[in-house]
A and B are shown apart, each in its own frame.
Chain A
């Protein structure tokens, strides 16, 4: 007590002080106390406002001004004629601010959620489940909110605009509810195309990606960004995503927006022009699907069961540029399953073996034995080595013995002594076996010499097999050339397993194979060389690799990196970047040899294995080269292949477990060419061709000032705008 010393002072005088005086003195003490307390207040006020004012000003600004990300629309993806393949649409999303919700009374909360549920026509429990934070009791994985608890939680996506407007208008009935318009991907699907694997999809940015972006100072993404995960969306993400804008808005304590206080404008994403042509793509997709359907209804004469036809792919490439005109893969999925977030069930289906892993793009990621479509490359290899010439003749017997095993011709046919062209035409296996065996004997009969020369392996590498094509699509598979080095590496990695299996008792194929492998699995034997020569064994290619290999034959020896993208165009219509065809290699193959092969492949269409599928096809007007293939796969039905080309296009189709090349894929190949050239029966009507002018346009679509996109001008002369 501050007054005690005074009392004591007074008492020290030993004089009896009356109450009256004592009281007055104490009033003085009270006055001193009041002054002290009020000075304390002043001091504290000064401390808050002046000494640490900046800190609180920052805090004040932080909580009363909120940066709202304004994500501008993502760029379009259009085809060669400017038809949008991927566009945007507005999706209305109902979000609930958990922080505000929790400020409401329990009963009011429940009523509010019920009201939301009624409005968006969903059960109450579903809304409730969305709001629970993952890890909370009763939270359901996949439904619960795994974002920040301070971020509004989306509870209903893609609601009708009318509902959205109704909720916004009745704002006071929906406290803590925010209705947002989001721009999401839309797939206009011109001509009903799917193109899921080409286009790819988006998904929300992950935490680690966000951290990396922050480290790199990349401001084009933010916490709520969606980024390309596959296909063109991923490859051209940095162009398509645009640049986010920021709106600074003053908000009140309830998070309600009071007014704008500034805006940094965002940048709409650039448009990607592709070389895909929707009309061709639509036909290719439809033909692939039809081919698979037909195959599944056809009984395989070898196994006595209908073809499984589990998957397939088709590629249409421009022969002179390596541009992709169409590319399809089966099984596929609807690209819009990713829009607004994919459900766990759906995601599982996309990855599931049972559904045929629809996510896998067979055209670029599927790897298959090429079978007889391999032979033209082997021909080029045999001729380049000089051991054989265009006039070499070899016996096309019905079988060819290597060691104690007889390698047979297809259906054991025999054509006697024939040249390369005939061998390609009739797809004679034993002809190529001899070549493979000869080279093996000549250069590499030492089975352990991994550096032994092999002209056939070399030519395969020359044509770009065994390595990625460099297409502008992510996740491409490299294929595999099963040469000596690969065999040794495979042996090293597998020998422990097979040696162990070999020690088990048993005399079936697996155990016998295991014992043999354990001892000499590294050896590149004559059988391996023979298998390699006809595209069998462990060699694998992607349909895309095969297509660009044939394109190189077609265009006189240029190996392109395939391209889907053609140009990047700004939202205002200015061309930012033209994506030129990219030459990977000029092949070191004599032009004469390519012409020699070309002639042979023409004959395949006229009189060879493909001829029966091209009856009445105007081959004189549209010179079609083709090579069929039926690749044997151990334990499975054969893979159907047709690789074909004209002077303009390469068309490759593949159906896994689909049967013979021409038998299964032949009709589809024919229909695709009919579409490309406007062929009706045996007549060519160029005006009916899928792409005006038959060949893909070199010019870009016209981006009009009003935002519309028109087909490229076909007026002759002048490349100027």
Chain B
């Protein structure tokens, strides 16, 4: 390993903090990030309860079995945990070897979706394999993050602290993201597209790429959106649907209805909520897609400001850990992967909750770790597993090189 200069573990602002007194314990066995683990577990648990509550009375969905969704959700979580453990236990090197495979697999998945996918709610996002509906776009987000991190890391492996992340690196990363992005756009899955854009932007930013790239990408994004509207690439109804969160009358039967119902449900929750399984709007099924995209409204109505606040806080904790892991990562791959995951989960959470609260457009993205849906849970759990891998690795290397870390401090 050529990496000899890991950052400090505990302090987020190492440049100004005094030397840690915990030096003596640095040699201990690497530990999992327990806070991340607990936050994840808490979100999964809350999510399970919310999914159950949202579906218990929906005979049309469940076919009369009030626990059908609960069971399926638990199975998904179990598979997700297995995947997360597998990823966490996978050696760093194997992650790098497997990353291209995951990337290629999700590309194939996206192609399959376009060729033989099922259309649900207006976008072709699912493929049905052996009775399971799989949403490759969910895996694609993880794959893009990992692959982008890998491209830069490979190119700068031996000399990354000496070498700038140059134009070629950025172009490489953009290239990696462009393929799946194009296919997601074709589905069309606007929500996932937005999340992917935010993630790509985050990864490029975190890589330390030149400022002009960030500026250029920002301008290009805004320009592309403006052009799409200006030159009629989008139908009026699509724009109306997108803007319905500002004025539900634009799409009263579709997104406007969702927006209005979501607000009513959340507003009905008050400070303490109506109680789990007792939300009148939730139990009566006024909010569509409530166990998936609008799961947050269940928390809002039944658990109130406190419960919904806890959901936001737990996601905040998760992101804080992800970003901390990113900044503590001792290699570029780890840092970019962790930062990408943070951007992905962060923006998706904001997009999802914001949509429920009526401050973001209605797009079909799930709330990470909370919404019902196998693909999303699997991908997110794998991401959490990956965060743990990165965390474990940076701890290991820390134990090897305390002196370097001290020397490096002067750099900040």
Contacts and interface: CB of A to CB of B under 8 A. Distances in A.
B284 A250 contact: yes
Interface in B129-174: 160-165
B280 A60 contact: yes
Given A45-B300, A61-B280, A34 B319 contact: yes
Given A20-B160, A24-B327, A27-B326, A3 B205 contact: yes
A64 B281 contact: yes
Contacts of A34: 316, 319-320, 323, 342, 346
A253 B350 contact: no
B206 A30 contact: yes
A535 to B, nearest CB: 70
B160 A42 contact: no
A146 B377 CA distance: 51
A27 B305 contact: no
Given A18-B161, A21-B412, A34-B316, A50 B270 contact: yes
Nearest to A37: B350
Given A31-B320, A49-B304, A57-B267, A22 B309 contact: no
A305 interface: no
A37 B346 contact: yes
Nearest to B286: A253
Given A22-B208, A45-B308, A48-B266, A64 B280 contact: yes
Contacts of A31: 12, 319-320, 323
B280 A250 contact: yes
Interface in A207-255: 250-254
Given A24-B327, A49-B267, A252-B286, A60 B207 contact: no
B339 interface: yes
A23 B206 contact: yes
A55 interface: yes
B23 to A, nearest CB: 22
Nearest to B273: A49
A59 B264 contact: yes
A26 to B, nearest CB: 5
Contact of B350 (A30, A38, A258): A38
A255 to B, nearest CB: 10
A44 interface: yes
Contacts of A59: 264, 267-268
Given A41-B312, A42-B309, A45-B309, A19 B263 contact: no
Interface in A358-402: none
A18 B411 CA distance: 10
Given A49-B271, A60-B268, A7 B211 contact: yes
A35 interface: yes
Contacts of B281: 60, 63-64
Contacts of B117: none
Nearest to A103: B253
A19 B208 CA distance: 5
A37 to B, nearest CB: 5
Contacts of B349: 38
Nearest to B160: A20
B315 interface: yes
B19 interface: no
Given A3-B205, A19-B163, A56 B284 contact: no
B47 interface: no
B285 interface: yes
A63 B339 CA distance: 44
A49 B286 contact: no
Contact of B266 (A21, A28, A49): A49
Which of A18, A26, A35: most chain B Cβ within 10 A?
A: A26
A46 interface: yes
Interface string A496-512: 00000000000000000
Contact of A26 (B57, B206, B320): B206
Given A45-B357, A64-B286, A30 B205 contact: yes
B215 interface: yes
Given A24-B7, A30-B202, A250-B280, A49 B270 contact: yes
A40 interface: yes
A12 interface: no
A41 B353 contact: yes
B354 interface: yes
A691 to B, nearest CB: 60
B343 interface: yes
B397 to A, nearest CB: 15
Interface of B: 7, 12, 57, 160-165, 202, 205-209, 211, 214-215, 218, 261, 263-271, 280-281, 283-287, 300, 304-305, 308-309, 312, 315-316, 319-320, 323, 326-327, 335, 339, 342-343, 346, 349-350, 353-354, 357-359, 411-412
28 contacts: A1-B215, A1-B218, A4-B211, A7-B211, A18-B161, A18-B162, A18-B208, A23-B165, A26-B205, A27-B206, A27-B335, A30-B323, A37-B350, A45-B300, A45-B357, A48-B357, A49-B270, A49-B308, A53-B269, A56-B263, A56-B267, A57-B268, A57-B270, A60-B265, A63-B281, A63-B286, A252-B285, A254-B285
Pairs of residues from A and B, 6 with the lowest C-beta to C-beta distance, nearest first: A56-B267, A19-B208, A23-B208, A60-B268, A252-B284, A22-B208
